[in-house]
Homo-oligomer: A and B are copies of this chain.
Amino acid sequence: MTAPFVIIGGDAAGMSAASKAKRDDPSRDVIVFEKGSWVSYAACGMPYYVKGTVDDLDDLVAMTPETAREERDIDLRTGHEVVSVDRDKQTVTVSRDDETFEQTYGELLLGTGARAIVPPFDGIDREGVFTLRDMDEAGEISDFVETTAPETAAIVGGGYIGIEMAEALTEHGIDVTIFEMLPRTLQPFGAETARTVEDHLREQGVDLRLETTVEGFTGVETVDAGDTVDAVEIEGDDEPVPADLVIVGVGVTPNVELAEHAGLELGPTGAIATDEFGRTSDDSIYAAGDCAEATNVVTGEPDHVPLALTANRAGRAIGATVAGKPTRTGGTAGTAIVKAFDLGAARTGILDPERAREAGFDPESVTIEVPTRPHYYPGATDLSITLVADRESERVLGASIVGRDGVKRIDTVATALHASLTVTELQNLDLAYAPPFSPVWDPVLTAAKVLGGILEK
């Protein structure tokens, strides 16, 4: 009898793999070890739970443990932590409450995810200081807001989570300050889109402090909650900034310790190296999701893009491969989209000129403002599009879009990246036009026309 397909981590990658493997090969035993209690939940929905848009944390669960076990026949074990992998014996050691046991595997999938980076700030352990990495913490933040009714909040880090949490907390009437060490927010989106988002955050009342380094959090003894945060200390600044609540969202780091201890190869990004089928340096071990690398479709190089779709897709592909049909995990274009109050911002590919040059390109870029509809049709809003291409080959390298509406059209450029289209080919796409939906030349086409004109010179 074949040893089971064992999966470490019951989130997007792990549960997608388990479901697909069982569907394609129902006779195969599939065991998932999840150290927490939540499985298969929409982490991207957590800010909207804190905001109040989503009523119940359970609403974020895509598949309950019961469904996994009963309907999909997955041997799902929550509260089980895998503490080591023995590749020679093809076993994992699992810890549960006070006991430890071994489980053999035929194939193993590491879906260990990533964790929030927690810099060594003074006072990081005070009450009221949170990251937002899992459902329990989302619940705690929401409870904290409800029970303590904070008047001020500090968000450390101007990335997705920081901006989504700024919106969520502002919704509760809390005065929000975002602290960002770098000269701008939303690094991967490029300067132009970031500037537009920053102006909008300020219009919405967010106190945005760029190039500001947080040193720590001061606190005050409270009767109910012990040593609770009350302010943020800034480098080179005498006056701490009041904050009844702090969210630290400075990025994530892949959970690679198990892989490392097992002697699996890590890639240049620090995440687990994988081939096009999601296989690690050990043929019977796969890795997927936030702990693993994926191939960037523009550069052809390994990349680490800890986002939901990449995890779901790679997990599903690995499930199919394990069930007998070798399936590529697909590359990543680094496509991302974020809501910032009334704006949407989206990005795909390579926007950073430095990174483009490292990958051997000679980037040229243009940023244009275009309306989403013809001038005569009501409801048009402006989109700002940044488009980047290689001067020599004219290949499209990346794009960023920001505006009140219609930023999902980043998908057109993402598709173009997968197909290695040139600016001329992008410009010649037959995209949909009617006055309620778009100008004759879709904003993406107009950006391509303008960039094409620059490349001709």
Contact = CB atoms under 8 A, between A and B. Distances in A.
A434 B334 CA distance: 13
A403 interface: no
B45 A377 contact: yes
A377 B328 contact: no
A275 to B, nearest CB: 15
Counting every copy of the chain, the complex holds 2
B310 A434 contact: no
Given A376-B59, A428-B331, A429-B414, A441 B309 contact: yes
A439 B339 CA distance: 14
Interface string A394-413: 00000000000011111110
Interface in A388-446: 406-412, 414-416, 418-419, 421, 425, 427-438, 440-442, 444
A72 B98 CA distance: 82
A432 B414 contact: yes
Interface string A325-338: 10010111111111
Contact of A334 (B418, B429, B430, B436): B430
Interface string A113-137: 0000000000000000000000000
A373 to B, nearest CB: 10
A408 B406 contact: yes
Given A377-B45, A434-B339, A313 B428 contact: yes
Given A59-B376, A440-B308, A432 B419 contact: no
A68 interface: no
A258 interface: no
B435 A348 contact: no
B430 A418 contact: yes
Interface in A200-258: none
B406 A415 contact: no
Contacts of A431: 309, 335, 411, 414-415
A411 B410 contact: no
Interface residues of A, number: 68
Contacts of A430: 297, 309-310, 330-335, 348, 414, 418
A44 interface: yes
Contact of A48 (B346, B377, B412): B377
A157 interface: no
A307 interface: yes
B374 A435 contact: no
Contacts of A359: none
Contacts of A54: 376-377
A411 B433 contact: no
B418 A42 contact: no
B432 A410 contact: yes
A191 interface: no
A297 to B, nearest CB: 7
A309 B437 CA distance: 13
A20 to B, nearest CB: 10
Nearest to A344: B437
Nearest to A336: B432
A56 to B, nearest CB: 8
Contacts of A48: 376-377, 435-436
A432 B313 contact: no
6 closest Cβ pairs, A-B complex: A419-B419, A330-B428, A337-B432, A333-B430, A59-B376, A415-B415
Interface of A: 12, 42, 44-45, 48, 53-54, 59-60, 160, 297, 307-310, 312-313, 325, 328, 330-339, 344, 346, 348, 374-378, 406-412, 414-416, 418-419, 421, 425, 427-438, 440-442, 444, 456
23 contacts: A44-B434, A45-B376, A54-B376, A309-B430, A309-B433, A312-B440, A328-B428, A333-B429, A335-B430, A337-B438, A338-B434, A407-B432, A408-B437, A410-B432, A411-B431, A411-B442, A412-B415, A414-B431, A415-B431, A418-B421, A418-B428, A418-B429, A419-B425
